[in-house]
Structure 1
Amino acid sequence: MRTAYQYKLRPTKQQVVELDRWLSMLSAQYNYLLADRFNWYQENRSSVNACPLVCHLPELRENPDYYSQKKTLPQLKKTHPWYSEIYSQVLQDVVKRVKVTFDRFLKGDSNGKRSGKPRFKSRSRYRTFTYPQMKDGCLPCNSISLPMFGKVKVVLHRPIPDGFKIKTASVTKKADGYCLTLSLEDKTVPEIKPDFNPHSITGIDVGLKEFLTTSEGETVAIPQYYRKTQKRLRVIQKRVSRRKKGSKRRQKAVKQLGKCHKKVADKRKDFHFKTANWLLSKYDVIAHEDLNIKGLARTKLAKSVLDAGWSSFMSILTNKAVNAGLLVIPVSAYNTSQDCSNCGEKVPKKLQVRWHDCPHCRCSLDRDHNAAIVIKNRAVGQPVLKARSMSYAIAGVAEKPTPDCTQLV
Structure 2
Amino acid sequence: MLNLTCEYKLIPTDAQRQTFDRWLAICRKVYNYALRERKDWANSRKCHLNSCSIKQEYIIPVDTPKPTFYTQCKSLAEAKKTIPELKEPHTHVLQQVLRQLEAAFVAMWERGHGFPRFKKRMRSFVFPQLNLETVRKFEGNWEVNLPKLGWVKMRLSRPIPEGFEVKQIRIVKRASGYYAMLSVAMDVEVPQAVPSGHGIGIDLGLEHFLATSDGQLIGRPRFFIEGQCKLKSLQRQLSRKKKGSRKFRQLSHRIA
TM-score tier, shorter chain, comes to: 0.7 to 0.9
| Total equivalences in the alignment | 226
Please state whether the residue corresponding to 1:136 is helix, strand or coil.
coil
Do structure 1's residue 63 and structure 2's residue 61 form an aligned pair? no
Going from structure 1 to structure 2, the CA distance change for 1:6 and 1:206 (only over 3 Å counts) comes to: farther
State how 1:350-361 maps to structure 2 within 5 Å: none
Please state whether the residue corresponding to 2:7 is helix, strand or coil.
strand
Equivalent pair of 1:9/1:154 in contact (CA under 8 Å): yes
What amino acid sits opposite 1:89 in the alignment?
A: H
Show the counterpart of 1:182: 182
Going from structure 1 to structure 2, the CA distance change for 1:77 and 1:208 (only over 3 Å counts) comes to: farther
Do structure 1's residue 195 and structure 2's residue 194 form an aligned pair? yes
Over residues 249-281 of structure 1, what are the superposed CA-to-partner deviations in whole Å (9 max), with x where a residue is unaligned? xxxxxxx6x965x7xxxxxxxxxxxxxxxxxxx
Separation in 2, partners of 1:204, 1:3: 30
Equivalent pair of 1:8/1:180 in contact (CA under 8 Å): yes
Show the counterpart of 1:171: 171
Aligned counterpart for 1:74 among listed residues 77, 93, 111: 77
Q: CA deviation at 1:229?
A: 4.9
What amino acid sits opposite 1:197 in the alignment?
A: S
Going from structure 1 to structure 2, the CA distance change for 1:213 and 1:165 (only over 3 Å counts) comes to: same
Show the counterpart of 1:5: 6
Please state whether the residue corresponding to 2:81 is helix, strand or coil.
helix
State how 1:135-154 maps to structure 2 within 5 Å: 135-141=131-137, 142-154=142-154
Equivalent pair of 1:136/1:166 in contact (CA under 8 Å): no
Going from structure 1 to structure 2, the CA distance change for 1:97 and 1:160 (only over 3 Å counts) comes to: same
Separation in 2, partners of 1:178, 1:211: 36
State how 1:197-346 maps to structure 2 within 5 Å: 197-199=196-198, 201-226=199-224, 229=227, 260=255
Over residues 187-225 of structure 1, what are the superposed CA-to-partner deviations in whole Å (9 max), with x where a residue is unaligned? 1x21231123234x4433333433322333333322242
State how 1:80-119 maps to structure 2 within 5 Å: 80-105=83-108, 107-108=109-110, 113-119=111-117
Separation in 2, partners of 1:30, 1:98: 7
Going from structure 1 to structure 2, the CA distance change for 1:79 and 1:162 (only over 3 Å counts) comes to: same
Q: CA deviation at 1:43?
A: 0.7
Q: CA deviation at 1:161?
A: 1.9
Q: CA deviation at 1:185?
A: 1.2
Separation in 1, partners of 2:106, 2:208: 41
Do structure 1's residue 127 and structure 2's residue 127 form an aligned pair? no
- For structure 1, which segment, 164-173 or 128-137, has the greater mean C-alpha deviation from structure 2 after superposition? 128-137
Please state whether the residue corresponding to 1:29 is helix, strand or coil.
helix
State how 1:345-384 maps to structure 2 within 5 Å: none
Equivalent pair of 2:131/2:146 in contact (CA under 8 Å): no
Q: CA deviation at 1:57?
A: 8.2
Structure 1 segments, 4+ long, off by >4 Å, are: 227-233
Question: Could you list the runs of 5+ residues in structure 1 that have no partner in the other structure?
Answer: 237-255, 263-409
Over residues 92-133 of structure 1, what are the superposed CA-to-partner deviations in whole Å (9 max), with x where a residue is unaligned? 10110111112323x13xxxx21112111113xx10100111
Tell me the percent identity: 33
Equivalent pair of 1:132/1:168 in contact (CA under 8 Å): yes
Higher helix share: 1
What amino acid sits opposite 1:53 in the alignment?
A: N
Show the counterpart of 1:159: 159
| Larger RCO (CA within 8 A; separation ≥ 6) | 2
Separation in 1, partners of 2:117, 2:228: 29
Over residues 275-329 of structure 1, what are the superposed CA-to-partner deviations in whole Å (9 max), with x where a residue is unaligned? xxxxxxxxxxxxxxxxxxxxxxxxxxxxxxxxxxxxxxxxxxxxxxxxxxxxxxx
Question: Could you list the runs of 5+ residues in structure 2 that have no partner in the other structure?
Answer: 236-251
Equivalent pair of 2:126/2:170 in contact (CA under 8 Å): yes
Show the counterpart of 1:35: 36
Separation in 1, partners of 2:65, 2:85: 29
Going from structure 1 to structure 2, the CA distance change for 1:135 and 1:213 (only over 3 Å counts) comes to: farther
Going from structure 1 to structure 2, the CA distance change for 1:208 and 1:41 (only over 3 Å counts) comes to: farther
Q: CA deviation at 1:168?
A: 1.0
Equivalent pair of 2:131/2:147 in contact (CA under 8 Å): no
Separation in 2, partners of 1:42, 1:226: 46
Going from structure 1 to structure 2, the CA distance change for 1:127 and 1:218 (only over 3 Å counts) comes to: same
Show the counterpart of 1:54: 51
Equivalent pair of 2:200/2:212 in contact (CA under 8 Å): yes
Higher strand share: 2
Equivalent pair of 1:165/1:186 in contact (CA under 8 Å): yes
- RMSD, aligned α-carbons: 2.5
Separation in 1, partners of 2:118, 2:21: 18
Separation in 2, partners of 1:12, 1:93: 25
Q: CA deviation at 1:64?
A: 0.6
Separation in 2, partners of 1:35, 1:57: 12
Separation in 1, partners of 2:32, 2:176: 26
Compare CA radii of gyration and give the structure with the larger one. 1
Going from structure 1 to structure 2, the CA distance change for 1:34 and 1:228 (only over 3 Å counts) comes to: same
What amino acid sits opposite 2:220 in the alignment?
A: I
